Amino acid sequence: MRFDVITLFPEMFSAITDFGINRRALEKDLYALHCWNPRDFTADNYRTIDDRPYGGGPGMVMLPEPLLAAIEAAKVAQNQAGNLAPKVIYLSPQGQPLDQAAVKQLSACSGLVLLCGRYEGVDERVIKHSVDVEVSIGDYVLSGGELGAMVMMDSIIRQLPGALNHNLSAQQDSFEDGLLDCPHYTRPEDYRGMTVPDVLLSGNHAEIRRWRLKQALGRTWLRRPDLLDQRVLSKEEARLLSDFKSEHIT
Ligand SMILES: NC(=O)c1ccc(NCc2cccc(O)c2)nc1
């Protein structure tokens, strides 16, 4: 996976390249990251990348020329890396909400160009001319698209084969199967009188799997019933959830 990011602040991306799973994945060549700064694609001495909005109003809008030139340069680099039609994604509050299903789809791409806006956003003609899909990481406004890009990149990198030290099929991440995650425990068995559920100490892996699935279903029912609406339950899951409900003391 090759990421080409258009950003005024390339240094921000050390937040994912320098730490943990994302750092190891970079070192293992599971992905590559190249940042392009629109300021390097300006023609004036002040390296101007924004201007006031037509129609008035507060704030500034990013100029189309430097952005389109940076996107073109990124696309050429993607082409040279063998990715002939990289998807161009614009991070904005106006985008379609990012969810795990979208993350899985995006992780199948070989190259992505991520456009990070600042100020009030980019000139609309950039979106019309060069953006394939607009994506939002949530219903709130950030100072720029960079954190959204890093959130998206982190979730995609985790999907790349070899990124997680245990294979993904065993990985019951939240949302991996459309449910919230079950509770997790580690040492000590008794922490200030709070003990670990016996089943987890039993070594009975079938029972442990059932307990974890029941807890994930129950939690999803209690905290995010909307996720259950979108999910067909197996017979076993339906039974476990109804057991959880009947045992749940409100
Ligand atoms: N929810 C998000 O994914 C998100 C993305 C970017 C962003 N800020 C830069 C920006 C970009 C475009 C328009 C705009 O109004 C603000 N804030 C939040």
| Tens digits of residue pLDDT in 115-125 | 999 999 999 99
Atom 9 in ligand 1: residue holding the nearest Cα: 144
Any atom of ligand 1 within 6 Å of the Cβ of 92: yes
Mutate to test the pocket of ligand 1, among 5, 12, 92, 146 (most ligand atoms within 8 A of CB): 92
Q: What is the mean pLDDT of residues 97-120?
A: 97
Query: Would you tell me how many other CB atoms lie within 10 Å of the CB of residue 114?
Result: 25
Q: How confident is the model at residue 49 (pLDDT cuts 50, 70, 90)?
A: very high
User: Catalytic residues, which ones?
Assistant: 93, 120, 158, 173
Q: Is the CB of 148 under 6 A from ligand 1?
A: yes
Q: Within 13 Å and on the Cβ side, how many CA atoms surround 159?
A: 19
In whole angstroms, give the CA distance from residue 117 to residue 91.
Answer: 7
pTM: 0.95
Report ipTM for this prediction: 0.98
Q: What's the chain's average pLDDT?
A: 96
Q: Give the long-range contacts of residues 43-51, CB within 8 A, separation 24 or more.
A: 49/8, 50/118, 50/119
pLDDT grade for 166, boundaries at 50, 70 and 90? confident
* Distance in Å, CA 26 to ligand 1 centroid: 26
Q: How is residue 139 written in tokens?
A: 């219903």
Contacts of 190 (CB under 8 A, 6+ apart): 196
Indicate if the pLDDT at residue 48 is higher than 80. yes
Nearest to 154 by CA among 94, 107, 96, 93: 107
Contacts of 206 (CB under 8 A, 6+ apart): none
